């Protein structure tokens, strides 16, 4: 009985470890995760100006975004690394929440 319990416990722990490793290996970029990562990468000065971002292109596992101010003027570019993205090139999303 203890032998079976030990095997179940070892199997559960192994499953959690494999799941954690798999979670870190595969990364899907969504508009919300891109928003968080882009705002984290911008310094205070750029973050003050940034209003929205536009997904521009993919090269290998690097997804490029153009960060724009409220007048649609580009202020910087940000690259995010991932395996998949759930938006088409040209998709824009707001970086700042409404006050």
Report angle CA 47, 52, 57 to the nearest 5 degrees. Answer: 110
SS3 43: coil
How many whole angstroms separate alpha carbon 32 and alpha carbon 38? 10
How many whole angstroms separate alpha carbon 64 and alpha carbon 49? 19
- For the entire predicted model, the pTM comes to 0.72
How many whole angstroms separate alpha carbon 92 and alpha carbon 81? 18
**pLDDT (tens digit per residue) in 14-55:** 566 666 555 567 899 999 999 999 999 999 999 999 999 999
Percent of the chain surpassing pLDDT 70: 76
Q: Report the residue count for the chain.
A: 99
Ranges of each domain in the chain: 28-94
């Amino acid at each position: 009985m203890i032998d079976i319990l030990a095997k179940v416990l070892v199997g559960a722990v192994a499953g959690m470890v494999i799941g954690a490793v798999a979670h870190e290996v595969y990364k899907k970029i969504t508009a919300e995760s891109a928003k968080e990562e882009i705002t984290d990468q911008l310094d205070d000065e750029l973050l003050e100006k940034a209003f929205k971002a536009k997904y521009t292109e993919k090269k290998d596992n690097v997804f490029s975004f153009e960060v724009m101010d409220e007048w649609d003027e580009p202020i910087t570019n940000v690259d995010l690394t991932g395996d998949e993205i759930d938006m088409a090139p040209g998709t824009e999303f707001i970086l700042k929440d409404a006050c």
